[in-house]
Amino acid sequence: MARKQGSDTEATNGLEFQDSVSTLLERRGVTRREFMKFCTAMSAALALPPAFAPRIVRALDEVKRPTLVWLEFQSCTGDTEALLRASNPTVAEIVLDILSIDYAETIMAAAGHLAEANLDKVVREEKGTYIAVVEGSIPMKDDGIYCCIAGRTALDRAREVCGGAFATLAVGTCASYGGIPAAAPNPTGAVGVKAAVPSATVVNLPGCPLNADNLTATVVHFLLFKKLPATDGLGRPLFAYGKRIHDNCERRPHFDAGQYVEAWGDQAHRHGHCLYKMGCKGPETFHNCPTQRYNDKTSWPVAAGHGCAGCSQPMFWDSMTPLYKRLPNVPGFGIEATADKIGLGLAVGTAAAFGVHGVLSAFRRGDDSEGAKED
């Protein structure tokens, strides 16, 4: 069991806290003001109006304690690290204390038969009510022998645990779509959770690594509305993956102005101009990186001067590489476009959109005072 022991965490699985969540957090040094700030941030992350923040406060104060088990298969543990390295104490407290984490290989103290027995107990006694989190892809080839835990294959364990869960949160691109383990030639036959366990209710939270805020917001949505968030055709919550990175990118004005970085370290790069020509995959990638960011919202790849790698898209390693080559085709859809529309229309309209953009940029030739321009 990974969670802390004490008078305020004595409630057993499925029972209410003896004290409110805000009281628990206050005892850990998190002030009421910080708790309110966290709830307001969650409201923003869920694309809810600020007026919902008090409802989130009430919901978290009145919450019953759902059980969570965290399975790790073919992964680098980057998603666990992304969560545990969050320096904002409320994130860790919310996830680790509101939820009863009964199994998590990386952080639990129990090991061996004791740990596996605890997981079996959850599956047996709380069927249909617990939440499963899966990190890493699941190998299917040769009956799944390339990833085994406690003598059982990841595929066998996933079918049992995810199949009996209320819902499964696939964190990271590997668990969502197979990720890098599924890149060609995919020697282990790696797939995401939904492909391995089609009958399971799965919410995909791709990214390499997962943005911990999106996991927390998904949990808060469940606690607030008693249901899972709406998703797109790829199983991703719309509040986090409903818009393209390109449409919210802080470098977008430079794209519109025809100002592009032509070489790493050039004047345009130093001035923060658009990275499309350097291989940025933001025009084809759906994620809230520009607004949620990483490392306590301090930065994200494009803000740091590196193009988007498209890591939250299915099979990104095969479809988005080479990383430093410009996209051969870029969809020219407006900000209102959804992931599903892009999926249907990816092959059309691209040339026309950039043709128009090139014409507009041509009128700006001769003015190179602020960096490179579209050719």
Going by pLDDT thresholds of 50, 70 and 90, the confidence category of residue 90 is: low
Q: Are strands 372-373 and 67-72 parallel, antiparallel or unpaired?
A: unpaired
Residue 155, SS3?
helix
pLDDT of residue 319 exceeding 70, the answer is: yes
The whole-angstrom separation of Cα 177 and Cα 114 is: 31
Residue with tokens 């209320």: 166
HSE-up (13 A, CA, CB side) for residue 75: 33
- CA–CA dist 255, 335 (Å, integer): 14
Query: pLDDT tens across 275-316, in order?
Result: 999 999 999 999 999 999 988 788 999 999 999 999 999 988
Q: How far apart are CA 319 and CA 234, in angstroms?
A: 16
The pLDDT assigned to 337 comes to: 47
H or E element at residue 210: none
Q: Quick check: 97 pLDDT over 60? A: yes
Band (pLDDT 50/70/90 cuts) for residue 59 is confident
pLDDT > 70: percent of the chain: 77
pLDDT of 128? 93
Q: Are 231 and 265 in contact (CB under 8 A)?
A: no
Mind listing the pLDDT tens digit for each residue in 207-263?
Answer: 999 998 898 889 888 888 888 999 999 999 999 999 999 999 999 999 989 999 999
The per-residue pLDDT for 290 is 95
Structure tokens at 155: 């595929």
Contact 279, 323 (CB under 8 A): yes
Distances (CA, A) of 45 to 318, 345, 368: 30, 28, 38
Q: Are 96 and 80 in contact (CB under 8 A)?
A: no
In this prediction, residue 40 carries a pLDDT of 84
Residue 307 tokens read as: 């193009």
pLDDT in tens, 114-146: 899 999 999 999 999 999 999 999 999 999 999
